[in-house]
Amino acid sequence: MSAEKFSLDNILITFPADSTGKQTYWTNRNAVEGVQIFGGIGSGKTSGSGRTLALKYLAAGFGGLVLTVKPQERQEWEKYCEIAGRLDDLVIISPDKENYFNFLEYESTAHKGAQATENLLQVLKTVIRSSEEKQGGKSEDPFWETAVDMLIANTIDLCQLAFNKVTVALLYELVLTIPNPYINSSEEDTRKTFEEAFSRVEDEIQKSTKNELYKLPEEVQELIHYSPNRERMIEDRVPEYRIFNLVKHFFHRSYVKLPQKTRSIIDFSFTGFLFGLMRDPVYSLFCVHPTTASVRPEQCYENGKIILIDLPVKLHHKAGRDCQILYKYVWQRAMERRGETKDADRPVFLWADEAQNFIHEHDADFQATARSSKVATVYISQNLPNYFGSMGGNKAEYKVKSFLGTLATKIFHANADIETNRYASDLIGEEERANYTASLGTDKDAASTSVSQVRKKIVPPEQFGLLKTGGKPNAGVVEGYMHIQGAKTNTGGNHICANFRQDYEPKSLKTELI
């Protein structure tokens, strides 16, 4: 591909000129700075601006990731790809397709040892915390987050040491079979996975230690044997020895002493998430089979693949949501590893309709650097309260406003939500207008007129409820106010009222009217 094809200065949308002939352009550069679309039910946000941007990105050769909430979204994107001539690039992860993404295998192979544990820990805890926030159950007490993190990290380390691999099934078995002093022996799980893992690691550590010590001269062996620093000296020669000591200390000295209720909450936070992954179709698609080459995140920018996860939340509920957040976070990390891109590099998009379902704690940080990785994020949601509900806990409003601040283009369609309309109006801003006041004196023939300057909203909040919503009554036209950060549009300000056609199809990659 040539540098010209993917240049950030390439024009995606050309808006009509103003009275002086000046035109407003929206480019690849605007796209990779992020887009947020708001609109009420039936406003045309998906069929209007959503359809337009999707087809623009596909026609321009972008790769991408599509997350789904509604069952019909797969059919919509199949149609988009067909229109844009990109159907061969569409890769679907679905129960009816033999495309698999083994996320533990993928993250484990990216790094080895301690870094592999940290990778897996970050992925698992991000999805768990996102689920807790969505359900309003995330605690503000850092103890709980730290405790769950420690359980996950030590279980992963034990799994790697004992079995030289990490799988969802093994993690689930290990946590379920941790000795529990609060349960009678007759009620304990008959499986002994945890004890077997510990026994296996102890045997291997002993063998490794003996082998390393036998390589040393006898006088050095004796010195180590009687040294007060024996543990540290062995750890220097057998790295697994130190890791296993940490794991053993956590489970046998710290975890076993936790109060029953505290431990039950920590156990359930992890096992509850793993239980969702243990059920099909999620288990087959994300946990068992080797990863299919075409669904590796790198395929999006290397070969322009559009990866769609067809596990809509409306059908698969929490499990569908969790695995899509999981893939999204792994995908985002892969895009960040791509690093600063060159002008010739292919842009990619991250697409989420009803985006409040897929928000996690690292989204704002990712979006802050997405431009350098050429990631064009498009989030679509009805209103601000949807985000407030998803980003639960204290300071939810500040979290949402901070997150939205990382998306430079915002499109506002017809909406009945007062808070969202007020936010849109405030964002577009105010202007000075002349205010004329007439007064009559005691003599009917004596009158005076005064003129003063007042500041008024350029677009009052109530105006957003009057925008066209497409369909036959509006000849398929959907209206929306676009606020473009850092741009001066043909209105003289930072916004433009745009018309989006619900039957839009790209005629070429060259500039064209919206």
Segments of the chain scoring below 50 in pLDDT: 1-2, 137, 509-514
Q: What is the DSSP letter of 116?
A: H
User: How many angstroms from the chain centroid is the CA of residue 361?
Assistant: 8
The pLDDT of residue 340 is 78
Amino acid identity, position 94: S
**For 278-369, where are the E strands, in sequence order?**
306-309, 348-353
> Rounded distance, CA 428 to CA 412, Å?
11
Amino acid identity, position 358: F
With a CB cutoff of 8 Å and minimum separation 6, the contacts of 196 are 162
The pLDDT of residue 209 is 76
> Rounded distance, CA 377 to CA 73, Å?
17
The pLDDT of residue 451 is 60
The distance in angstroms from the start CA to the end CA of the chain is 26
> Rounded distance, CA 192 to CA 460, Å?
66
Instruction: Give the pLDDT confidence of 341-387 residue by residue, as tens digits.
Output: 887 899 999 999 999 999 998 999 999 889 999 999 999 999 999 99
The pLDDT of residue 239 is 74
The pLDDT of residue 511 is 40
The pLDDT of residue 467 is 96
**For 50-122, where are the E strands, in sequence order?**
63-67, 90-93
Domains of the chain: 11-99+302-431+458-501 (3.40.50.300), 103-277 (no CATH)
CA distances from 272 to 275, 357, 448 (A): 5, 19, 76
Q: How many CB atoms lie within 10 A of CB 243?
A: 21
Residues in the chain: 514
Q: Quick one: CA dihedral 17, 23, 27, 32, positive or negative? A: negative
> Rounded distance, CA 45 to CA 164, Å?
49
- Put residue 374 in one of left, alpha, beta given phi > 0 → left and psi -120 to 50 → alpha: left
The pLDDT of residue 242 is 84
* Contact assessment for residue 113 and residue 152, using Cβ atoms and an 8 Å cutoff: no
> Rounded distance, CA 294 to CA 512, Å?
33
The pLDDT of residue 189 is 58
The pLDDT of residue 179 is 86
> Rounded distance, CA 392 to CA 382, Å?
17
> Rounded distance, CA 121 to CA 112, Å?
13
Q: What is the DSSP letter of 1?
A: -
* Contact assessment for residue 15 and residue 24, using Cβ atoms and an 8 Å cutoff: yes
Structure tokens at 70: 């509604």
Query: In a 3-state reduction of DSSP, which class is residue 227?
Result: coil
Picking from 96, 95, 97, 66, the residue whose alpha carbon sits closest to that of residue 79 is: 66
Contacts of residues 436-444 at CB distance under 8 Å and 24 or more positions apart, as own/partner, are none
Contacts of residues 470-473 at CB distance under 8 Å and 24 or more positions apart, as own/partner, are 470/44, 470/47, 470/48, 470/502, 471/44, 471/502
Cis previous bond, 385, omega within 30: no
The pLDDT of residue 512 is 45
Place of tokens 């009559």: 440
Place of tokens 């004890």: 195
Q: Quick one: CA dihedral 328, 509, 37, 468, positive or negative? A: negative
H-run or E-run covering 482:
strand 477-484
The pLDDT of residue 204 is 87
With a CB cutoff of 8 Å and minimum separation 6, the contacts of 252 are none
The pLDDT of residue 83 is 96
> Rounded distance, CA 123 to CA 156, Å?
12
> Rounded distance, CA 318 to CA 197, Å?
31
Picking from 31, 2, 147, 78, the residue whose alpha carbon sits closest to that of residue 482 is: 31
> Rounded distance, CA 451 to CA 434, Å?
6
* Contact assessment for residue 36 and residue 411, using Cβ atoms and an 8 Å cutoff: yes
Q: Judge residue 185's burial from the number of C-beta atoms within 10 Å of its C-beta, 0-12 exposed, 13-18 middle, 19 or more buried.
A: exposed
> Rounded distance, CA 512 to CA 389, Å?
39
Place of tokens 């309260």: 385
Q: What is the DSSP letter of 251?
A: I
